[in-house]
Amino acid sequence: MNNHVTVLEIDGSALAHNLDYFKQKLQPETKILAVVKAFGYGSDGVQVAKFLEDKVAYFSVAYAHEGIALREAGIQTPILVLHPQLQNLQAIVDYRLEPALYNFNIFSAFLELASNAPLINYPVHLKFNTGLNRLGFWHTDIPEILANIKDINNIKVQSLFSHLAASEDLNENNFNINQISNFTGIVQHFYKNLGYEPILHILNTSGVINYPKAQFDMVRIGIGLYGFGNDDKETAQLKNTHNLKSIISQIHEIKPGDTVGYNRAFIAKKATKTATIPVGHADGLSRKLGNKKGFVLINNQKAEIVGNVCMDMIMVNVTKINCKEGDEVILFNSQKMIQNISDISETIVYETLTAISPRVKKILKE
Protein backbone atom coordinates (compact mmCIF):
# COMPACT_ATOMS: atom_id res chain seq x y z
CA MET A 1 0.00 0.00 0.00
CA ASN A 2 1.32 3.42 -0.96
CA ASN A 3 0.99 5.72 2.03
CA HIS A 4 3.29 8.48 0.79
CA VAL A 5 1.70 11.75 1.89
CA THR A 6 2.66 13.40 -1.39
CA VAL A 7 -0.28 12.75 -3.71
CA LEU A 8 -1.05 13.38 -7.35
CA GLU A 9 -4.77 14.02 -7.77
CA ILE A 10 -6.04 13.31 -11.29
CA ASP A 11 -9.04 15.44 -12.20
CA GLY A 12 -11.58 13.20 -13.94
CA SER A 13 -13.86 16.08 -14.87
CA ALA A 14 -10.90 17.79 -16.55
CA LEU A 15 -10.10 14.60 -18.47
CA ALA A 16 -13.70 14.41 -19.68
CA HIS A 17 -13.68 18.09 -20.65
CA ASN A 18 -10.46 17.72 -22.64
CA LEU A 19 -11.73 14.62 -24.43
CA ASP A 20 -14.95 16.42 -25.35
CA TYR A 21 -12.96 19.41 -26.60
CA PHE A 22 -11.15 17.24 -29.11
CA LYS A 23 -14.30 15.33 -30.04
CA GLN A 24 -15.80 18.63 -31.17
CA LYS A 25 -12.94 19.01 -33.63
CA LEU A 26 -13.61 15.63 -35.24
CA GLN A 27 -16.01 14.27 -37.78
CA PRO A 28 -18.75 12.19 -36.10
CA GLU A 29 -17.34 8.95 -37.51
CA THR A 30 -13.73 9.59 -36.45
CA LYS A 31 -12.59 7.27 -33.68
CA ILE A 32 -10.43 8.36 -30.75
CA LEU A 33 -7.45 6.45 -29.43
CA ALA A 34 -6.48 7.61 -25.94
CA VAL A 35 -2.76 7.42 -25.20
CA VAL A 36 -2.18 6.14 -21.66
CA LYS A 37 1.50 5.15 -21.90
CA ALA A 38 4.08 6.20 -19.29
CA PHE A 39 1.60 5.80 -16.42
CA GLY A 40 -0.91 8.00 -18.22
CA TYR A 41 1.67 10.76 -18.73
CA GLY A 42 2.79 10.56 -15.11
CA SER A 43 -0.67 10.08 -13.64
CA ASP A 44 -2.02 6.52 -13.51
CA GLY A 45 -2.69 4.68 -16.75
CA VAL A 46 -5.03 2.15 -15.18
CA GLN A 47 -7.20 4.73 -13.40
CA VAL A 48 -7.31 6.96 -16.48
CA ALA A 49 -8.22 4.01 -18.74
CA LYS A 50 -10.98 2.86 -16.40
CA PHE A 51 -12.41 6.36 -16.42
CA LEU A 52 -12.23 6.69 -20.23
CA GLU A 53 -13.09 3.11 -21.20
CA ASP A 54 -16.64 3.81 -22.34
CA LYS A 55 -15.62 7.07 -24.03
CA VAL A 56 -12.95 6.00 -26.56
CA ALA A 57 -12.48 3.31 -29.21
CA TYR A 58 -8.86 2.39 -28.44
CA PHE A 59 -6.07 2.79 -25.94
CA SER A 60 -2.37 2.78 -26.74
CA VAL A 61 0.65 2.04 -24.60
CA ALA A 62 4.35 2.01 -25.39
CA TYR A 63 5.27 -1.42 -24.06
CA ALA A 64 3.60 -4.75 -23.42
CA HIS A 65 3.74 -4.61 -19.61
CA GLU A 66 1.72 -1.37 -19.69
CA GLY A 67 -1.01 -3.10 -21.69
CA ILE A 68 -0.91 -6.15 -19.41
CA ALA A 69 -1.54 -3.87 -16.41
CA LEU A 70 -4.67 -2.54 -18.13
CA ARG A 71 -5.94 -6.04 -18.91
CA GLU A 72 -5.28 -7.23 -15.36
CA ALA A 73 -7.33 -4.26 -14.15
CA GLY A 74 -10.25 -5.46 -16.26
CA ILE A 75 -9.96 -3.08 -19.24
CA GLN A 76 -11.61 -4.74 -22.27
CA THR A 77 -11.12 -1.96 -24.85
CA PRO A 78 -8.66 -2.75 -27.69
CA ILE A 79 -5.08 -1.83 -26.73
CA LEU A 80 -2.40 -0.98 -29.29
CA VAL A 81 1.18 -1.67 -28.15
CA LEU A 82 3.26 0.90 -30.01
CA HIS A 83 6.72 -0.53 -29.41
CA PRO A 84 6.53 -4.29 -28.84
CA GLN A 85 9.70 -6.32 -28.42
CA LEU A 86 10.39 -9.85 -29.64
CA GLN A 87 10.50 -11.33 -26.13
CA ASN A 88 7.03 -9.96 -25.35
CA LEU A 89 5.07 -11.27 -28.33
CA GLN A 90 3.63 -14.32 -26.57
CA ALA A 91 2.51 -12.19 -23.63
CA ILE A 92 0.90 -9.77 -26.07
CA VAL A 93 -1.19 -12.60 -27.48
CA ASP A 94 -1.93 -14.06 -24.04
CA TYR A 95 -3.38 -10.73 -22.92
CA ARG A 96 -5.16 -9.94 -26.21
CA LEU A 97 -3.03 -6.88 -26.93
CA GLU A 98 -2.50 -5.64 -30.48
CA PRO A 99 1.10 -5.15 -31.63
CA ALA A 100 2.42 -2.46 -33.93
CA LEU A 101 4.69 -4.22 -36.40
CA TYR A 102 7.37 -1.79 -37.52
CA ASN A 103 10.20 -3.83 -39.12
CA PHE A 104 10.71 -7.26 -40.62
CA ASN A 105 12.23 -8.73 -37.46
CA ILE A 106 9.11 -8.13 -35.40
CA PHE A 107 6.85 -8.77 -38.40
CA SER A 108 8.36 -12.18 -39.23
CA ALA A 109 8.46 -13.24 -35.59
CA PHE A 110 4.79 -12.44 -35.09
CA LEU A 111 3.79 -14.19 -38.31
CA GLU A 112 5.63 -17.30 -37.11
CA LEU A 113 3.95 -17.16 -33.70
CA ALA A 114 0.55 -16.65 -35.34
CA SER A 115 1.12 -19.60 -37.68
CA ASN A 116 2.32 -21.96 -34.95
CA ALA A 117 -0.43 -21.17 -32.46
CA PRO A 118 -2.39 -21.03 -34.77
CA LEU A 119 -4.12 -17.66 -34.51
CA ILE A 120 -7.05 -16.64 -36.70
CA ASN A 121 -7.35 -13.03 -37.92
CA TYR A 122 -5.34 -11.71 -34.98
CA PRO A 123 -5.34 -7.88 -35.13
CA VAL A 124 -1.98 -6.24 -35.87
CA HIS A 125 -1.08 -2.70 -36.80
CA LEU A 126 1.49 -1.74 -39.44
CA LYS A 127 3.60 1.33 -38.63
CA PHE A 128 5.13 3.25 -41.54
CA ASN A 129 7.95 5.76 -41.40
CA THR A 130 7.03 8.86 -43.40
CA GLY A 131 9.67 11.23 -42.04
CA LEU A 132 10.05 10.93 -38.27
CA ASN A 133 12.74 8.28 -38.81
CA ARG A 134 12.12 6.59 -35.49
CA LEU A 135 10.12 3.42 -36.05
CA GLY A 136 8.35 2.06 -39.09
CA PHE A 137 8.49 0.25 -42.39
CA TRP A 138 9.48 2.18 -45.50
CA HIS A 139 7.07 2.49 -48.41
CA THR A 140 9.47 0.30 -50.39
CA ASP A 141 8.73 -2.56 -47.98
CA ILE A 142 5.10 -2.77 -49.07
CA PRO A 143 5.50 -5.48 -51.76
CA GLU A 144 7.29 -7.82 -49.35
CA ILE A 145 4.75 -7.19 -46.61
CA LEU A 146 1.86 -7.95 -48.95
CA ALA A 147 3.58 -11.06 -50.28
CA ASN A 148 3.96 -12.39 -46.72
CA ILE A 149 0.37 -11.85 -45.68
CA LYS A 150 -1.28 -12.85 -48.93
CA ASP A 151 -3.40 -15.99 -48.64
CA ILE A 152 -3.00 -16.35 -44.86
CA ASN A 153 -5.68 -15.84 -42.24
CA ASN A 154 -3.52 -15.89 -39.10
CA ILE A 155 -3.43 -12.09 -38.84
CA LYS A 156 -5.59 -9.18 -39.87
CA VAL A 157 -4.19 -5.72 -40.50
CA GLN A 158 -6.32 -3.75 -38.07
CA SER A 159 -4.73 -0.42 -38.87
CA LEU A 160 -2.10 1.37 -40.93
CA PHE A 161 -0.52 4.35 -39.23
CA SER A 162 2.32 6.81 -39.16
CA HIS A 163 3.49 9.71 -36.98
CA LEU A 164 4.05 13.35 -37.89
CA ALA A 165 7.48 14.69 -36.99
CA ALA A 166 6.54 18.31 -36.25
CA SER A 167 2.76 18.57 -36.10
CA GLU A 168 2.89 21.43 -33.58
CA ASP A 169 5.20 23.58 -35.73
CA LEU A 170 3.50 25.39 -38.59
CA ASN A 171 6.93 26.43 -39.87
CA GLU A 172 7.23 22.78 -40.85
CA ASN A 173 3.90 22.81 -42.66
CA ASN A 174 5.33 21.60 -45.97
CA PHE A 175 7.13 18.72 -44.30
CA ASN A 176 4.00 17.68 -42.41
CA ILE A 177 1.82 17.83 -45.50
CA ASN A 178 4.40 15.78 -47.38
CA GLN A 179 4.23 13.15 -44.64
CA ILE A 180 0.45 13.02 -44.91
CA SER A 181 0.72 12.72 -48.68
CA ASN A 182 3.25 9.89 -48.38
CA PHE A 183 0.99 8.09 -45.94
CA THR A 184 -1.95 8.44 -48.33
CA GLY A 185 0.15 6.82 -51.05
CA ILE A 186 1.01 3.91 -48.75
CA VAL A 187 -2.65 3.45 -47.95
CA GLN A 188 -3.59 3.25 -51.62
CA HIS A 189 -1.18 0.34 -52.13
CA PHE A 190 -2.90 -1.60 -49.38
CA TYR A 191 -6.40 -0.72 -50.50
CA LYS A 192 -5.61 -2.09 -53.96
CA ASN A 193 -4.03 -5.33 -52.79
CA LEU A 194 -5.24 -6.24 -49.31
CA GLY A 195 -8.90 -6.98 -50.02
CA TYR A 196 -10.18 -4.96 -47.05
CA GLU A 197 -9.68 -1.49 -45.60
CA PRO A 198 -7.81 -1.18 -42.28
CA ILE A 199 -8.29 1.71 -39.86
CA LEU A 200 -6.05 4.66 -40.80
CA HIS A 201 -4.45 7.14 -38.40
CA ILE A 202 -1.60 9.64 -38.46
CA LEU A 203 -2.66 12.55 -36.24
CA ASN A 204 -1.60 13.15 -32.65
CA THR A 205 -2.91 15.98 -30.44
CA SER A 206 -1.21 18.77 -32.39
CA GLY A 207 -2.10 17.10 -35.65
CA VAL A 208 -5.79 17.21 -34.77
CA ILE A 209 -5.46 20.93 -34.12
CA ASN A 210 -3.40 21.85 -37.17
CA TYR A 211 -4.36 19.27 -39.82
CA PRO A 212 -8.06 18.50 -39.36
CA LYS A 213 -8.44 17.28 -42.95
CA ALA A 214 -6.08 14.38 -42.22
CA GLN A 215 -8.27 12.74 -39.58
CA PHE A 216 -8.67 9.57 -41.66
CA ASP A 217 -10.50 6.98 -39.48
CA MET A 218 -8.96 7.59 -36.06
CA VAL A 219 -6.79 10.09 -34.16
CA ARG A 220 -4.46 9.59 -31.21
CA ILE A 221 -4.93 12.00 -28.30
CA GLY A 222 -2.10 12.06 -25.78
CA ILE A 223 -0.90 15.28 -24.14
CA GLY A 224 -4.19 16.97 -25.06
CA LEU A 225 -6.07 14.65 -22.71
CA TYR A 226 -3.92 15.92 -19.87
CA GLY A 227 -4.51 19.59 -20.49
CA PHE A 228 -1.98 20.85 -23.03
CA GLY A 229 -2.47 21.90 -26.65
CA ASN A 230 0.19 22.98 -29.09
CA ASP A 231 0.07 26.67 -28.11
CA ASP A 232 -1.20 28.93 -25.34
CA LYS A 233 -4.51 29.54 -27.11
CA GLU A 234 -5.34 25.84 -27.37
CA THR A 235 -4.10 25.06 -23.86
CA ALA A 236 -6.39 27.79 -22.51
CA GLN A 237 -9.36 25.82 -23.85
CA LEU A 238 -8.28 22.73 -21.92
CA LYS A 239 -8.29 21.95 -18.21
CA ASN A 240 -5.41 20.83 -16.02
CA THR A 241 -5.63 17.19 -14.94
CA HIS A 242 -2.52 16.86 -12.73
CA ASN A 243 -2.55 18.31 -9.20
CA LEU A 244 0.50 17.49 -7.08
CA LYS A 245 0.05 18.02 -3.34
CA SER A 246 1.96 17.37 -0.14
CA ILE A 247 2.08 18.64 3.46
CA ILE A 248 4.42 20.51 5.80
CA SER A 249 6.39 17.97 7.84
CA GLN A 250 8.32 20.40 10.01
CA ILE A 251 8.85 24.14 10.52
CA HIS A 252 12.22 25.57 11.54
CA GLU A 253 13.22 28.98 12.88
CA ILE A 254 16.55 29.77 11.22
CA LYS A 255 18.88 32.39 12.78
CA PRO A 256 20.92 34.85 10.70
CA GLY A 257 24.01 33.08 9.42
CA ASP A 258 22.48 29.59 9.69
CA THR A 259 22.37 27.46 6.55
CA VAL A 260 19.74 25.16 5.08
CA GLY A 261 20.17 21.92 3.19
CA TYR A 262 22.98 20.13 1.40
CA ASN A 263 26.18 22.03 0.65
CA ARG A 264 24.83 24.85 2.85
CA ALA A 265 23.35 26.27 -0.32
CA PHE A 266 21.05 28.70 1.53
CA ILE A 267 22.52 31.11 4.06
CA ALA A 268 20.01 33.11 6.12
CA LYS A 269 20.75 36.83 6.06
CA LYS A 270 18.05 37.44 8.64
CA ALA A 271 15.71 35.45 10.86
CA THR A 272 13.90 33.05 8.55
CA LYS A 273 11.15 30.48 8.97
CA THR A 274 11.38 27.40 6.73
CA ALA A 275 9.04 24.50 6.12
CA THR A 276 10.24 21.03 5.14
CA ILE A 277 8.04 19.16 2.64
CA PRO A 278 8.27 15.41 1.92
CA VAL A 279 8.83 15.56 -1.83
CA GLY A 280 12.12 15.67 -3.72
CA HIS A 281 13.95 14.77 -6.88
CA ALA A 282 13.14 11.07 -6.33
CA ASP A 283 9.49 12.10 -6.69
CA GLY A 284 10.13 13.93 -9.95
CA LEU A 285 11.10 17.47 -8.92
CA SER A 286 14.05 18.78 -10.88
CA ARG A 287 17.05 19.95 -8.85
CA LYS A 288 16.99 23.06 -11.02
CA LEU A 289 13.99 24.24 -8.97
CA GLY A 290 16.18 24.80 -5.91
CA ASN A 291 17.78 27.99 -4.63
CA LYS A 292 14.76 30.27 -5.02
CA LYS A 293 14.09 29.35 -8.65
CA GLY A 294 10.98 27.31 -7.96
CA PHE A 295 8.13 27.75 -5.53
CA VAL A 296 5.14 26.03 -3.98
CA LEU A 297 1.81 27.35 -2.75
CA ILE A 298 0.91 27.27 0.94
CA ASN A 299 -2.38 28.84 1.94
CA ASN A 300 -2.53 30.44 -1.51
CA GLN A 301 0.84 32.17 -1.05
CA LYS A 302 4.11 31.54 -2.87
CA ALA A 303 6.86 29.93 -0.85
CA GLU A 304 10.26 29.84 -2.57
CA ILE A 305 12.35 26.69 -2.45
CA VAL A 306 15.49 27.43 -0.45
CA GLY A 307 18.71 25.49 -0.78
CA ASN A 308 19.09 22.42 -2.96
CA VAL A 309 16.26 20.03 -3.77
CA CYS A 310 16.97 16.84 -1.78
CA MET A 311 16.13 13.30 -2.86
CA ASP A 312 13.06 13.11 -0.61
CA MET A 313 12.50 16.66 0.63
CA ILE A 314 12.49 20.34 -0.16
CA MET A 315 12.66 23.29 2.18
CA VAL A 316 10.72 26.47 1.47
CA ASN A 317 10.67 29.96 2.92
CA VAL A 318 7.46 30.54 4.91
CA THR A 319 8.64 33.58 6.89
CA LYS A 320 5.68 35.68 5.72
CA ILE A 321 3.13 32.84 5.55
CA ASN A 322 0.80 31.93 8.41
CA CYS A 323 1.09 28.14 8.40
CA LYS A 324 1.66 25.14 10.63
CA GLU A 325 2.96 21.60 10.41
CA GLY A 326 0.47 19.40 8.57
CA ASP A 327 -0.83 22.18 6.31
CA GLU A 328 -1.40 21.37 2.64
CA VAL A 329 1.27 22.28 0.09
CA ILE A 330 0.55 22.67 -3.64
CA LEU A 331 3.48 21.72 -5.86
CA PHE A 332 1.37 22.45 -8.93
CA ASN A 333 -2.33 22.64 -9.72
CA SER A 334 -2.51 24.49 -13.03
CA GLN A 335 -1.10 24.42 -16.52
CA LYS A 336 0.68 27.70 -15.77
CA MET A 337 2.52 26.20 -12.79
CA ILE A 338 3.45 23.07 -14.73
CA GLN A 339 4.76 25.16 -17.63
CA ASN A 340 6.72 27.35 -15.22
CA ILE A 341 8.35 24.30 -13.65
CA SER A 342 9.19 23.00 -17.12
CA ASP A 343 10.73 26.32 -18.13
CA ILE A 344 12.87 26.55 -15.00
CA SER A 345 13.88 22.91 -15.44
CA GLU A 346 14.81 23.63 -19.07
CA THR A 347 12.56 20.89 -20.35
CA ILE A 348 9.10 20.31 -21.78
CA VAL A 349 5.75 19.64 -20.11
CA TYR A 350 5.88 15.99 -21.19
CA GLU A 351 9.00 15.41 -19.10
CA THR A 352 7.69 17.32 -16.09
CA LEU A 353 4.55 15.17 -16.00
CA THR A 354 6.11 11.81 -16.77
CA ALA A 355 8.89 12.42 -14.23
CA ILE A 356 6.40 12.06 -11.38
CA SER A 357 7.62 9.02 -9.48
CA PRO A 358 5.56 5.82 -9.11
CA ARG A 359 6.03 6.17 -5.34
CA VAL A 360 3.76 9.22 -5.38
CA LYS A 361 0.23 8.11 -4.61
CA LYS A 362 -2.19 8.67 -7.52
CA ILE A 363 -5.90 9.30 -6.94
CA LEU A 364 -8.43 9.97 -9.71
CA LYS A 365 -11.25 12.21 -8.56
CA GLU A 366 -14.34 12.26 -10.76
Which residues are catalytically annotated? 37, 262
Q: Write the CA distances from 142 to 84, 129, 158, 187, 256, integer angstroms.
A: 20, 12, 16, 10, 72
Q: What are the φ/ψ torsions at residue 263 (nearest 5 degrees)?
A: 60, 15
* CB 200, CB 190: distance < 8 Å: no
**86 Cβ partners below 8 Å, 6+ apart?**
105, 106, 109
Which candidate, 306, 298, 300, 293, places its Cα nearest to that of 252? Answer: 306
DSSP 283: G
* CB 176, CB 157: distance < 8 Å: no
Buried b (16+ CB within 10 A) or exposed e, 172-192: beeebeebbebbeebbeebee
Chain center to CA of 333: 18
* CB 202, CB 190: distance < 8 Å: no
Q: What are the φ/ψ torsions at residue 138 (nearest 5 degrees)?
A: -95, 160
